[in-house]
Structure 1
Amino acid sequence: MTRVIVKPGICGFNAIIDIDTIDREKLSFKIKSDCKTVTAFGESLSEISKWDIFKPKAESGLFIKLSEHPLHPSCPVPVGIVKAVEVEAGLAIARDVSICFEIIGNRKG
């Protein structure tokens, strides 16, 4: 099983994504979060094909379900899902991902 913990920042709604192998093609999918939208999305999808993440978004079961449960545009949970699927399917190596801010000079606004 592959577990990814997403710490999205300012909203404070962490997500735990568990992806486990069912067979050569299918993966089970579970998500836990205090975010109601992320939770509703997770409940709508229990299995995913390991190849689904490579399909055009209009044909991908994952992204179709995400469009039915619109998250904030900068929510990193979808990226966490894709990375977890890649690792569990043996298509990528598990490595942490980060977004780091540097504020240079004076910000207006």
Structure 2
Amino acid sequence: MMNVCIHSGVCGFITTVQAETDSDYQTKLQVESQCPNVKKIIEALGTLNVMNELFRKGQSEILSLSAQHLPHVTCPVPIGMLKALEASAGMALPKDVSISFTK
């Protein structure tokens, strides 16, 4: 099981993701979020096929639902969910990512 905590930035919402992938590359995400828009995505998500989510451009259920429900395209939650799924499937090492602003 892979655990990810996403601090979304100026909105102040925190989202936690638990991803567990089986031998057939089917992943179940357990997501908790304070964001009402992310909650809409969570309600619509079922079991995800890792290969479809990561390698079929334009066919990611996470990204499709995010486009429908998130008012800000720069929200980091969908990418955090995909990173959790990717690491859970053993297709990436669990390494932190970051975006830093400088002036």
Q: TM-score, normalised by structure 1?
A: 0.85
Ranked by relative contact order (alpha carbons within 8 Å, sequence separation 6 or more), the top structure is 2
Cα deviation, residue 62, structure 1: 2.3
Deviations 1:65-89 (A, max 9, x none): 2222134121100110111111000
Q: Which residue of 2 aligns with 1:34?
A: 34
Deviations 1:26-67 (A, max 9, x none): 01012111100001101110311111222112x222222222
Contact 2:67 2:73 (C-alpha < 8 Å) held by counterparts: no
Question: Runs of 4+ in structure 1 displaced over 4 angstroms?
Answer: none
Q: Distance in 1 between matches of 2:33 and 2:96?
A: 19
Q: Which residue of 1 aligns with 2:57?
A: 56
Q: Which moved more, 1:87-96 or 1:39-48?
A: 39-48
Q: Which residue of 1 aligns with 2:79?
A: 79
Between Structure 1 and Structure 2, which shows a larger proportion of helix residues?
A: 2
- What SS does structure 1 have at the residue aligned with 2:97? coil
Greater Rg by CA: 1
**Unaligned stretches of 5+ in structure 1?**
104-109
% same residue: 31
Q: Distance in 2 between matches of 1:65 and 1:6?
A: 18
Q: Which residue of 2 aligns with 1:10?
A: 10
Q: Distance in 2 between matches of 1:25 and 1:98?
A: 27
